[in-house]
Structure 1
Amino acid sequence: MSSLSPDVVIVGAGPAGLRAAADLAGDLDVLVLEREAEAGGIPRHSEHPGYGLRDLRRFVDGPHYARLLRDRAAAAGATVLTEATATGWAGERSLDVTAPGGRIRVDARAVVLATGARERPRAARLIPGDRAQGVFTTGHLQQSVHRGQHEAIGRRAVVVGGEAVAWSAALTLRHAGCRTVLMTTEHRRPDAYWIFAEAGRVALGTPVATRTRVARIVGRPRVEAVEIEHLDTGRRRTIACDTVVLTGDWIPDNELARAAGLPLDPGTRGPLVDTALRTPRPGVFAAGNLLHPVDTADVAALDGAAVARHVRAHLAGHVPAAAHVELRVEAPLRWVAPQLLRPGDPEPPRRRLSLWTDELVHTPTIVVRQAGRPVAVRRLWWPAAPGRVLRVPSDVLAGIDRSGGPVTIGLRRSPH
């Protein structure tokens, strides 16, 4: 077994990991581990525009965006090792790695977990019916179409999900010569921003069935139809198709965090972090969609920029306060990130809290309580909608006692 001793090891070469590498390399020895054959993460196989606005001030397609991130990390002097999988921990900041050249032990002064998130497959969603070919997640579909995996795509597809990535799947299907005949969502309205949903409906001619679930997949050996059910009426109907794409329903790739024994947030299922993106293990940080699945690639990249600053502070000897306050949420909110607030710590990345709601609230009011006492009430001028991250200015926490008890964030409808 060979060994490496970089200053920083970053696990995951998606937008968060590559941006962190670019900002840390140069005066530091930075190693990035990527289990796939090419760095760049999900954008590599998303061949449509919409990437890079927040971080690069550009509007480019996914492969172009991934290439820009790779080039910047390389130009800064970071080493990106592909087909390298961190299989476990050999110490507090030491990793066992399997790569084409053999096993490697990596001993670093700081570790950044940027392993991202993935969509849950059919089995995890418990969709009954025949075991038919032609069922994809968005990532599987895009790799099949754009990355030369040559898996057969049909001619009529049903996309299960109504968020922005569902329209990305519809664009990929069109590229493959497959028409999206229906999109379904269990919510009362499409999950994507109105501009995405309306543009997709007009450009692709795709109807969206709301309050609808896929009750059964029919067909052998390939999909022939899906049976869908309206959640309010129970009415079922059958849609002929030969392809089904399951979008959204993201979960973090948290295996390495779990192997470290890091506490996980029950809502995000990613590791608990404070506003400096530190995990409870000293010198181990986390960033990107491992923490808030799933957000846009450019927001994940900005997480990478933020974690780079905090890694530098750690390497310079900064020791955070031991005391912390825990952030919690109440229904209809499902989770908040980050979850820990320490005295003297900086604002979270982008000065925003990321939250997730299970209910559409057009005119939401955020209510922050500590020890049962209201600390802040803030009306938002944008909706809280299922299927996308709700961003809340972090100054709603300005009045809390960071040495006090837990803080609860709630959501209520604002009066008209």
Structure 2
Amino acid sequence: MTNQPNLITPDVLIIGGGPAGLTAAAELKHLGAGDVLVADREEHAGGIPRHSDHTGYGLRDLHRVMTGPAYARHLICQATDAGAEIRTRTMITGWADDSTVDVTSPDGRYRIRPRALVLATGARERPRTARRIPGDRPHGVYTTGQLQNLVHMHHQPVGKRAVVVGAELVSWSAVMTLREAGCTPALMVSQYPKGESYGAFNAVGRTVLRVPVATSSRVTRVIGRGRCQAVEIEHLDTGQRRTIDCDTVVFTGDWIPDHELARSGGIALDESTLGPLTDTALRTSRPGVFAAGNLLHPVDTADVAALDGKHVAQQVVKRLHGAESSRSGVRLLADPPFRWIAPQILRPNDPAPARDRLLLWTDTFVRFPTVTVRQDEQVIARRKLPWPAAPGRVFRIPSNLLKDVTPTGGPVHIGLR
């Protein structure tokens, strides 16, 4: 007869110790949720910010500006001071049943059966192999996360001259890390007609950091035996190709959620974000299982992910107190040029989404966008917004644009006029 793994039964289990998970843990304790356990597979909690050693973190959630490591330490202290337990080097390996997960850690193998579970596993950048960039397979090719981990956590050198693939917020983060490591960013490459990041970042990049951006371009080949020697880039309009000498290449952006656990558990995924399908209360298709942060919208800033954690905590507490959700709901769909929308389900009597905003991702730059909302072939809302829709960063629209949605109607389409 085989021994059954030990079982622990906290009130709430949070899988993932990044900004969303840690903020959810602190808020849950403040709301009196009982025993709250955070499980994180890394040696240290904190998520991506802990090895992103530059400023810019904490603006929306903490109303101050901090470096990534300081922000991570602050969130860890918030959670532990509130009374949450954080277990690192703790891998959730699968589902024993719909409400129980299998765990492997330095303490051995065991199971956790919480009353409610929050998935906050975040997102990652696609590596070069997933982007199908041909050429040689030399050393010196990284994602931003790999680069920052190497430089900030392990204090290892990189090359002397780099090409950064992408021109969004995380791309400039890679630029700053390269400069700190003594590597000159020689060029950024963007497939879009203009850099994806905010105008202020692009201006600083050109004038202060002095990094040129090759727009409407793509990398077609990596060159080098042993160590990277160059990349070949192609202009998308003219087809003209040129070779840029470099010993380091950093692939940035092109995010995908860490959804393996959700997928293996049979939780419904949104076909566009590839993260769990959720309603505005951040419930997934499995009762008692919620999701938050960049697992749902790959990818937004760390402080927005943290505010997702605060929002989901309030909904989890309602669940613990016996609240039930409506089974009916209207599906929200993103029309081109939008690629995805989060959350994707609007249910009667549910709360507004976090920060009263719906999040979308666009593939086209529109300086003065007019958002349209359609249901059953009728335009039920139209609003011109004063901020641009731009590739490479989340586009936010007020959730009150949905106030005239008919709960018994068909899917709601959100697009641009």
Q: 1:267 aligns with which of 272, 275, 285?
A: 272
Q: CA deviation at 1:149?
A: 6.3
Rounded to whole Å, the distance in 1 between the matches of 2:119 and 2:61 is: 20
Rounded to whole Å, the distance in 2 between the matches of 1:276 and 1:201 is: 41
Q: CA deviation at 1:3?
A: 1.8
Q: Structure 1 regions of 5+ residues with no counterpart?
A: none
Q: SS of 2:208's equivalent? A: helix
TM-score (norm 2): 0.98
Rounded to whole Å, the distance in 2 between the matches of 1:218 and 1:92 is: 48
Offset from partner CA, 1:253-275 (integer Å, 9 cap, x none): 00011011111111110000000
Rounded to whole Å, the distance in 2 between the matches of 1:164 and 1:268 is: 19
Rounded to whole Å, the distance in 2 between the matches of 1:271 and 1:335 is: 13
Q: 1:11 aligns with which of 10, 15, 21?
A: 15
Rounded to whole Å, the distance in 1 between the matches of 2:358 and 2:352 is: 9
Query: Are 1:308 and 2:313 matched, yes or no?
Result: yes
1:116-265 map, 5 Å: 116-148=122-154, 150=156, 152-265=157-270
Q: CA deviation at 1:2?
A: 2.2
Q: Structure 2 regions of 5+ residues with no counterpart?
A: none
Q: SS of 2:27's equivalent? A: helix
Offset from partner CA, 1:299-356 (integer Å, 9 cap, x none): 0000000000000000000001110100001111110000001111110000000000
- Match in the other structure for 1:318: 323
Query: Are 1:25 and 2:29 matched, yes or no?
Result: yes
Rounded to whole Å, the distance in 1 between the matches of 2:18 and 2:407 is: 33
Offset from partner CA, 1:122-141 (integer Å, 9 cap, x none): 10000000011000000000
RMSD of aligned Cα (Å):
0.8
TM-score (norm 1): 0.98
Q: Percent identity?
A: 60
- Match in the other structure for 1:393: 398
Rounded to whole Å, the distance in 2 between the matches of 1:127 and 1:202 is: 30
Q: CA deviation at 1:403?
A: 2.3
- Match in the other structure for 1:42: 48
Rounded to whole Å, the distance in 1 between the matches of 2:69 and 2:90 is: 21
Q: Judge which range, 18-27 or 36-45, deviates more.
A: 18-27
CA contact (8 A) 1:343 1:403 kept: no
Q: SS of 1:25's equivalent? A: helix
CA contact (8 A) 1:132 1:222 kept: yes
Offset from partner CA, 1:164-203 (integer Å, 9 cap, x none): 1100000000000000000010000000000111112222
Q: 1:67 aligns with which of 54, 73, 79?
A: 73
Q: Which amino acid aligns with 1:203?
A: V
- Match in the other structure for 2:376: 371
Query: Are 1:287 and 2:289 matched, yes or no?
Result: no
- Match in the other structure for 1:80: 86
Q: CA deviation at 1:65?
A: 0.2
CA contact (8 A) 1:24 1:308 kept: yes
Q: Which amino acid aligns with 1:193?
A: Y
Rounded to whole Å, the distance in 2 between the matches of 1:168 and 1:358 is: 22
Rounded to whole Å, the distance in 1 between the matches of 2:311 and 2:241 is: 48
Rounded to whole Å, the distance in 1 between the matches of 2:202 and 2:99 is: 44
Q: SS of 2:150's equivalent? A: helix
Q: SS of 1:402's equivalent? A: coil
- Match in the other structure for 1:108: 114
